[in-house]
Amino acid sequence: MSADLAAALLASTLTMAVPLLLAALGELIAERAGVLNIGLEGMLLGGAFAALTVALLSGSVALGVAAALAVGAGLGGLLALFVAHWNANQVVAGTALNLLAAGITGVAYRAVFGVTGAALTITGAPALPLPGLSTLPVLGPFFNQTLIGYAAFALVPVVGGWLAYSLGGLRLRMVGENPHAAETQGVAVRRVRLAALVCCGMLAAAGGAFLSIAYANTFVEGMSAGRGFIALAIVIVGRRSAPGIMVAALCFGFATALQFHFQALGLAVPFQFFLILPYVLTLLVLAGFAGRAAAPAALGQPYER
């Protein structure tokens, strides 16, 4: 494989991995607080739509990202109202969130941009090459990303360190492991879950913003295309640790990116094999055939005083 092809592969791997990484980091925070957020897909989609619409109407990519973060926070808050405040079933509420985002973005897209949506492309977020590093052979693309891309990788130690070493992170993990014990220690379980879901929504929506204003430079109905569910898988395969999640996101990003370079690589395996690989791997990890992934003890359970 030539260095050029390797660099091209890395570039598309990063492009595929960034939204997955952001959404999975969000899911990590939610799951560590005890909430299994099936609605990740809807949060990605909502973020993608908000970012593109606002960026297009205002002419500012930064405003677009801000709008995505706001929409993500709102969706996270809405989910928290149901699963943290009302103790609704997390799977059902998350599924509803996905449907809601699909419906509303679809209707709004048509309303704002008409039927055809022609000429809907924007000048996306610019890549910011780091002088000296971006021209490195093979590894160059890593140092030639958009601000969102750099932020996604910078967030890995931030989120990981915060969860592991800060008081807030400790409280959040307590809520996920044993909410009753946390409550006796004076931790407001519902408020922590609300905060976790708002953070999760913002991160997932940032991933969506990356899709619409840094990758596709347009919006397409349902453009999240199952990435929210791959992010769920990444959290499991990454063993619910931030560095593990980054590795898993890069691997799954690579598996997805292969389809764009399929002919250049001349692989004999059908590309669908690489598309289902993340899901098969997740099942194997869950079944304990590839190292056990322990879930927070109270994951998925509503908290009742």
- Interface residues with other proteins (CB under 8 A) are 36, 38, 82, 86-89, 91-93, 95-100, 102-104, 106-111, 115, 221, 226, 229, 232-233, 236, 270, 272-273, 275-276, 279-280, 282-283, 286-288, 295, 300, 302, 304
| Three-class DSSP category at 129 | strand
Nearer Cβ to other proteins (103/157): 103
Quote the least distance from Cβ 203 to other proteins, whole Å. Answer: 20
| Rounded Cα–Cα distance for residues 29 and 201 (Å) | 10
Angle 220-222-228 from CA coordinates, rounded to 5°: 125
| Rounded Cα–Cα distance for residues 240 and 257 (Å) | 24
Nearer Cβ to other proteins (128/191): 191
Nearer Cβ to other proteins (164/265): 265
Nearer Cβ to other proteins (146/282): 282
Structure tokens at 38: 């099936």
Nearer Cβ to other proteins (66/108): 108
From the CA atom positions of the chain, what is the Rg in Å? 19
Quote the least distance from Cβ 77 to other proteins, whole Å. Answer: 14
Structure tokens at 109: 């897209």
143 contacts 129 by C-beta, under 8 angstroms? yes
| Rounded Cα–Cα distance for residues 130 and 140 (Å) | 9
Nearer Cβ to other proteins (98/146): 98
| Rounded Cα–Cα distance for residues 85 and 193 (Å) | 9
Quote the least distance from Cβ 195 to other proteins, whole Å. Answer: 21
What are the backbone angles phi and psi of residue 128, rounded to the nearest 5°? -115, 90
Quote the least distance from Cβ 20 to other proteins, whole Å. Answer: 14
Quote the least distance from Cβ 271 to other proteins, whole Å. Answer: 9
Quote the least distance from Cβ 302 to other proteins, whole Å. Answer: 6
| Rounded Cα–Cα distance for residues 216 and 207 (Å) | 12
Q: Quick one: the chain helix, strand, coil %, rounded to 5?
A: 70, 0, 30
